[in-house]
Structure 1
Amino acid sequence: MRLPGGERARLTALYGGLLVLAGAMLIGLINFLVAQGLYTTISTAVARRPDEIPGGAAPSSYASAELASPGPVPAQGDAEAAEAVRTFTRAAQQATQNELLTISLITLAVFAVISVALAWWMAGRVLRPVGVITRTAQRLSGENLHERIALDAPDGELKRLADTFDAMLDRLEHLVGAQKRFAANAAHELRTSLAVQRAAAEIGLATADPEAVARIRRKLIEVADSSERLVEGLLLLSVSDQGLDHHEPVALDALVRSVTAEHTASQQVRDRGITVRTETAPVTVQGDPVLLTHLVHNLVGNALRHNHDGGHVTVTARGRTLEVTNTGPQVPPETVPYLFEPFRRLEERRHARGEGAGLGLSIVASIARAHRARIDAEANPDGGLTVRVVFPTPDGGS
């Protein structure tokens, strides 16, 4: 049964009730033990010989009638004396028990008040970290996610709860920061494309030169294609972030060969003289074939785009691992983790043909998370990047 009131009131009732119950049991045990031996104690004290009674005398022969071993029946006077002693002993016992009970009840009442006060204070001390966590959570907003509880307390359940809350705030701050950067970068990319189109239209189309008009026309189409790819990338990123609607077996090796052959046959690869090698072994994963196609397409396309003329790309798919390695410019190792964030590039965007929108690896990371796959990357010593996606086993392991 749940007690009404706040947690402090419930803990106070629990702690105080347990303390009062323990006190009552202790007092009851003391009264019971005292009552068991009280009659004998009083009888022994009253039955002492006259020479053992300080400052006076006691009845002379009742002790032999009351306490001695069985023997001859005592005389009439001794029997009356023994009965008087028994009556006196019972009265003394009853009076002593009543006095002890009264004192015990008064002591229990005082103990109950002190117990409730101590329980209230103890509950407040125990719940103080919870109050700190609550006040911190109430203060938090998008503007002060940097605040932390930083609870100064011995290691325990509440200390671990506060540390877990701080770790959650770290992840939340990182996520909110990434979302803000994503929105700002998306707005910047779209605004830049629109500004280029507007400038081309206002300046280039003001001339009557057919060659200039044709050149501006090609530029407008190129910028429009870039904007379309950007919007498609943002939509794909949003879809993959929502997870998978269904799973089905996908032959990853066949998918890799198909996508790689498509890229190898492109005019851009032939013009730049890039060599693409494919190494596959039969492997089947559970997932969405459309999203997995985009994952392989973006990995291979990114490896080709960020490469130098005459370079090479190696695509390997075996043992539930997809690995894409390319040659290219040197990649600082400390920048590798940030390449999976949207719109992150090694160099500033120049709006050149085939440059991309900076969403390739972020889409790959999102699709990998949707498939519960592990993704990591490392900079190659001679330049370029190696990206590795490890898909989970059918039983859910990686």
Structure 2
Amino acid sequence: MPRLTSIGRGSVKARMTLLYGGLFTVVTSAVLIVVQQLQLRILTQRVGDIPFPDGSTLSVADGRADLQQTLTSSQRIITLIAIGAVAILAFTVCWWLTGRILRPLHRITDTARRLSLSNLHERIALNGPQDELKELADTFDAMLDRLADAIASQRRFVANASHELRTPLAIQRTAIEVGLADPSPAKLARIRSELLRNTQRSERLIEGLLALAQGERGPDERTPVDLTAAVEQVLEDHRPIAERAGVTITAATHQSTVAGDEVMLTRLIANLVHNAIRHNYPGGHVLIELSPHAMLVVCNTGPQVPEDRIGELFEPFRRLHPDRTGSADGAGLGLSIVAAIARAHGGGVRTTANPDGGLSVTVALPALTAVPPLPASPR
């Protein structure tokens, strides 16, 4: 009954059994029938060549015909029995062999059915030769690894976002409860300043979360964007910040145009330049290069960055020193927004640590048009 049920469901095992068992039976039956016909032809020819003794022509002819008919009937019966036996053996062997071949698929299916958010650590870990089924199981395990990492990152994001949003609210509540218990003009001014600072921090955090969400979603409409003009605008806006921090900015840009959202791409450039200035030291420098093929490179001096921790910088709320600082200057979303905007525009981000400290961040975007490079203009 289980076999009939699986055949009725149209399972792969049943279809493979019917296909290969049927083909084997048909081929074997055809060979047996051809062999039988050849044997009958040879038998008819040999019986016809038997000499007749004198005076017994009729009786010998009748005996020869009876012998030929008996042998023909026997061969047909034997052939039919052989075909039936071959069919039974073929379907039985194909059913067993197909079951063994598809056993890893059942293991993959069972693992997939058991998986949930609470046991994503389970893996198929299929052993055996490196064949297609082993490759499928390894691919499934790799997908589970990526899924587990994504869920872990999402949980960290929720926890960190809750922490970042709760901290300024707690500070504001404490300032109100303590400051207003015995108000005085000086205390009220201090409370006002503290509340304003934490409100601004919350606004920056919410703005960063909205920018990250928009970057993940991608632009609603793509239009030609002049990256050169965007870089120049960002540099003009950040030069006063760099001067106050004692950081020198040098730029070499070439004309480059991409298809995308101008506001999002400007935000990408601004985040890179702002991070390069903020994570620097007095007397340091920032180098910005834009190639005609829409490749933007931002290189800055600064503290040493371990190579094995570069990937953490692109996770939301992750900072190098330390993971969460509660700094009012930022929430650790800058590079996360950069990566999201680059992916949404069909590009990518590559980051390397400089030998003398600092980072080199390269953003590669698909260029809309490429023109001969103009002479570099240092700024």
- State the TM-score, normalized to the length of structure 2: 0.90
**SS at the partner of 1:234?**
helix
Partner residue, 1:70: none
**SS at the partner of 1:217?**
helix
CA distance in structure 2 between the aligned counterparts of 1:166 and 1:20, rounded to whole angstroms: 39
Residue 159 of structure 2 is aligned to residue 184 of structure 1: yes
Residue 53 of structure 2 is aligned to residue 60 of structure 1: yes
CA distance in structure 2 between the aligned counterparts of 1:298 and 1:236, rounded to whole angstroms: 11
Cα distance, 1:292–1:39 mapped onto 2, change above 3 Å? same
Instruction: Assess if the C-alpha contact under 8 Å between 1:39 and 1:89 holds in 2.
Output: no
Point out which structure has higher relative CO (alpha carbons under 8 A, 6+ apart). Answer: 2
Instruction: Assess if the C-alpha contact under 8 Å between 1:43 and 1:85 holds in 2.
Output: no
Instruction: Assess if the C-alpha contact under 8 Å between 2:297 and 2:360 holds in 1.
Output: yes
Q: In the alignment, which of 310, 334, 339 is matched to residue 336 of structure 1?
A: 310
Partner residue, 2:205: 230
Kindly state the Cα deviation for residue 89 of structure 1 after the two structures are TM-superposed. Answer: 2.2
Kindly state the Cα deviation for residue 60 of structure 1 after the two structures are TM-superposed. Answer: 3.1
Percent of aligned pairs with the same residue?
A: 46
Partner residue, 1:304: 277
Equivalent runs, 1:381-392 vs 2, <5 Å: 381-392=355-366
Equivalent runs, 1:1-398 vs 2, <5 Å: 5-44=10-49, 46-47=50-51, 59-61=52-54, 77=55, 81-265=56-240, 268-319=241-292, 320-348=294-322, 349-353=324-328, 355-394=329-368
CA distance in structure 1 between the aligned counterparts of 2:331 and 2:39, rounded to whole angstroms: 91
Tell me the number of residue pairs that the alignment of Structure 1 and Structure 2 aligns.
361
**SS at the partner of 2:183?**
coil
CA deviations over 1:263-315 (Å, ceiling 9, x no partner): 113xx433222222221111111211111011011111111111122322222
Kindly state the Cα deviation for residue 153 of structure 1 after the two structures are TM-superposed. Answer: 2.4
Kindly state the Cα deviation for residue 352 of structure 1 after the two structures are TM-superposed. Answer: 4.3
Instruction: Assess if the C-alpha contact under 8 Å between 1:302 and 1:360 holds in 2.
Output: yes
Partner residue, 2:372: none
Kindly state the Cα deviation for residue 359 of structure 1 after the two structures are TM-superposed. Answer: 0.2
**SS at the partner of 1:344?**
coil
Kindly state the Cα deviation for residue 154 of structure 1 after the two structures are TM-superposed. Answer: 1.9
Instruction: Assess if the C-alpha contact under 8 Å between 2:224 and 2:368 holds in 1.
Output: no
The two structures, once aligned, show a CA RMSD in angstroms of 1.9
Cα distance, 1:25–1:16 mapped onto 2, change above 3 Å? same
CA distance in structure 2 between the aligned counterparts of 1:4 and 1:91, rounded to whole angstroms: 52
Q: Which amino acid aligns with 1:7?
A: V
CA deviations over 1:160-188 (Å, ceiling 9, x no partner): 21111111111111111111111111111
CA distance in structure 2 between the aligned counterparts of 1:263 and 1:60, rounded to whole angstroms: 124
CA deviations over 1:323-344 (Å, ceiling 9, x no partner): 1111222212211111111111
Kindly state the Cα deviation for residue 3 of structure 1 after the two structures are TM-superposed. Answer: 7.9
Instruction: Assess if the C-alpha contact under 8 Å between 1:368 and 1:374 holds in 2.
Output: yes
Instruction: Assess if the C-alpha contact under 8 Å between 2:227 and 2:258 holds in 1.
Output: yes
**SS at the partner of 1:89?**
helix
CA distance in structure 2 between the aligned counterparts of 1:128 and 1:352, rounded to whole angstroms: 55
Instruction: Assess if the C-alpha contact under 8 Å between 2:245 and 2:277 holds in 1.
Output: no
CA distance in structure 2 between the aligned counterparts of 1:326 and 1:219, rounded to whole angstroms: 33
Cα distance, 1:11–1:350 mapped onto 2, change above 3 Å? closer
- Worse-superposed segment, 10-19 or 86-95: 86-95
Kindly state the Cα deviation for residue 248 of structure 1 after the two structures are TM-superposed. Answer: 1.6
**SS at the partner of 2:310?**
helix
Partner residue, 1:64: none
Moved over 6 A (4+): none
Q: Which amino acid aligns with 2:226?
A: A
**SS at the partner of 1:300?**
helix
Instruction: Assess if the C-alpha contact under 8 Å between 1:287 and 1:371 holds in 2.
Output: yes
Kindly state the Cα deviation for residue 4 of structure 1 after the two structures are TM-superposed. Answer: 5.1
Q: Which amino acid aligns with 2:290?
A: A
Instruction: Assess if the C-alpha contact under 8 Å between 2:25 and 2:83 holds in 1.
Output: yes
Instruction: Assess if the C-alpha contact under 8 Å between 2:13 and 2:102 holds in 1.
Output: yes
Gaps of 5+ in 2: 1-6, 370-379
CA distance in structure 2 between the aligned counterparts of 1:145 and 1:357, rounded to whole angstroms: 30
Instruction: Assess if the C-alpha contact under 8 Å between 1:129 and 1:151 holds in 2.
Output: yes
Instruction: Assess if the C-alpha contact under 8 Å between 1:185 and 1:343 holds in 2.
Output: yes
Instruction: Assess if the C-alpha contact under 8 Å between 2:257 and 2:368 holds in 1.
Output: no
Cα distance, 1:116–1:21 mapped onto 2, change above 3 Å? same
Kindly state the Cα deviation for residue 95 of structure 1 after the two structures are TM-superposed. Answer: 1.1
Partner residue, 1:74: none
- State the TM-score, normalized to the length of structure 1: 0.86
